[in-house]
């Protein structure tokens, strides 16, 4: 990946963590929480994931690093995210109208580059690439839904609900499920020949599940039950394999495997809570904090713990990289349990759950700062 684009990865990872900490510690109100959640997702997570894809796609296609201009895609997405945050803080309608289309432009450029690399891959690319393509398609559908919502006032709420589900379970969820099956064996130092079979067989179920859950939550609730079953199948297969293959690593490792497995478990908690919400609508308030605390924070913590040293110092691996990885992975098991517990608490007793999530976010930020400024 080009150095200019790679520099965005630690920055956007830190923004995601900082936004999560601010959102979880913010007082309730009409505008502030919405602005801060968009700081997490639109300013932090979206550019971060596009940058990370730009890092992984050359590996998956066995091709050269990404071109420098590709940094424009996450930067444009970041600008769109900042626009929507400013809208929620100050109410500038033009930003509300322009931000989704700007993000769609960034997505179109990035997707075009991914397709170009796919066509020119030597041999068959890793099937994780198809998960990235599907995740981008769901992101596009979610952005389009919120872009056209102002022109369809009668459907505006339903389109926002669709946007939320396609961006979280669709874009972020599919990207994570695909990447975990490549990243976990790498971190664990144990090849996983079965990953290719799972990636090839399970994508259709994850896509179908995300679509059914999103459409069901927006318009017809019974679809949510079918969608949850479809989405849960690949997730359960991944978790089952991870526990069998890397159980000792989860319990006693000095790396970030516990955090990444916890992220998959947190996604399962989100699915379970979503089902509960379909029969008890009053439970909906905790689902976004649950997603951030139990899924997004362990995912970013686990991935950054292994990859941040490479992002900071690309090239030949040295003892410095190993030392930084051990520092970033410190307390991984405890943090995994803390974030899963915090996510659950956030749905039951919000204040202590939010506090645990904010603590996990602060830990990640401090660990990243230590790694960035230690020679």
Alpha helices, DSSP H, located in the chain:
3-6, 8-25, 32-38, 46-60, 72-90, 93-119, 128-148, 156-165, 173-188, 194-218, 222-252, 257-279, 287-290, 297-312, 319-328, 332-348, 350-373
Q: How confident is the model at residue 240 (pLDDT cuts 50, 70, 90)?
A: very high
In a domain, 104, yes or no: yes
Task: Identify the residue with better confidence: 253 or 14.
Answer: 14
Question: What's the domain count of the chain?
Answer: 1
In this prediction the pTM is 0.93
In a domain, 319, yes or no: no
**pLDDT tens digits for range 173-198:** 999 999 999 999 988 888 888 999 99
pLDDT above 80 (res 287): yes
Average confidence (pLDDT) over 155-174: 95
**pLDDT tens digits for range 26-53:** 765 555 678 888 999 999 999 999 999 9
Q: How confident is the model at residue 112 (pLDDT cuts 50, 70, 90)?
A: very high
**pLDDT tens digits for range 113-161:** 999 999 888 788 899 999 999 999 999 999 999 999 999 999 999 999 9
In a domain, 42, yes or no: yes
In a domain, 185, yes or no: no
To the nearest 10 degrees (0 to 180), the angle between helices 257-279 and 332-348 is 10
To the nearest 10 degrees (0 to 180), the angle between helices 297-312 and 350-373 is 10
Domain around 67? 1-125
Alpha helices, DSSP H, located in 313-349:
319-328, 332-348
In a domain, 8, yes or no: yes
**pLDDT tens digits for range 308-320:** 888 888 777 888 8
**pLDDT tens digits for range 349-370:** 888 999 999 999 999 999 999 8
Structure-token match 């929480």, residue found = 33
pLDDT of residue 140: 97
Q: What is the CA radius of gyration of the chain?
A: 19
pLDDT of residue 1: 47
């Amino acid at each position: 990946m080009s150095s200019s684009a790679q520099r965005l990865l630690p920055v956007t990872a830190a923004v995601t963590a900082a936004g999560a900490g601010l959102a979880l510690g913010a007082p309730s109100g009409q505008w502030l929480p919405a602005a801060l959640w968009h700081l997490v997702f639109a300013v932090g997570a979206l550019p971060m994931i596009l940058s990370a894809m730009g890092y992984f796609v050359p590996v998956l296609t066995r091709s050269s690093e990404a071109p420098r201009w590709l940094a424009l895609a996450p930067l444009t997405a970041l600008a769109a995210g900042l626009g929507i945050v400013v809208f929620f803080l100050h109410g500038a309608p033009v930003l509300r109208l322009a931000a989704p289309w700007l993000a769609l432009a960034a997505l179109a450029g990035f997707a075009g580059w991914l397709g170009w690399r796919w066509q020119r891959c030597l041999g068959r690319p890793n099937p994780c690439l198809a998960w990235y393509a599907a995740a981008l398609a769901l992101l596009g559908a979610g952005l389009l839904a919120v872009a056209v919502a102002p022109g369809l006032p009668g459907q505006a709420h339903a389109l926002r609900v669709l946007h939320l589900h396609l961006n979280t379970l669709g874009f972020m969820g599919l990207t994570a499920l695909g990447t975990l099956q490549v990243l976990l064996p790498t971190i664990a130092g144990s090849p996983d020949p079965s990953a290719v079979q799972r990636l090839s067989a399970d994508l259709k179920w994850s896509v179908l599940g995300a679509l059914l859950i999103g459409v069901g939550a927006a318009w017809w609730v019974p679809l949510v039950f079918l969608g949850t079953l479809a989405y849960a199948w690949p997730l359960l297969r991944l978790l089952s394999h991870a526990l069998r293959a890397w159980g000792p690593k989860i319990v006693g490792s000095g790396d970030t495997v516990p955090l990444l497995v916890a992220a998959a478990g947190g996604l399962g908690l989100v699915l379970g809570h979503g089902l509960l919400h379909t029969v008890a609508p009053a439970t909906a308030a905790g689902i976004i904090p649950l997603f951030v605390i139990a899924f997004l924070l362990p995912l970013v913590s686990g991935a950054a713990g292994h990859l941040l040293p490479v992002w900071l110092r690309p090239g030949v691996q040295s003892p410095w990289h190993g030392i930084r990885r051990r520092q970033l992975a410190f307390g991984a098991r405890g943090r995994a349990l803390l974030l899963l517990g915090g996510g659950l608490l956030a749905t039951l007793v919000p204040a202590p759950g939010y506090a645990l999530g904010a603590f996990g976010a602060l830990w990640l930020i401090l660990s990243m700062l230590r790694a960035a400024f230690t020679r």
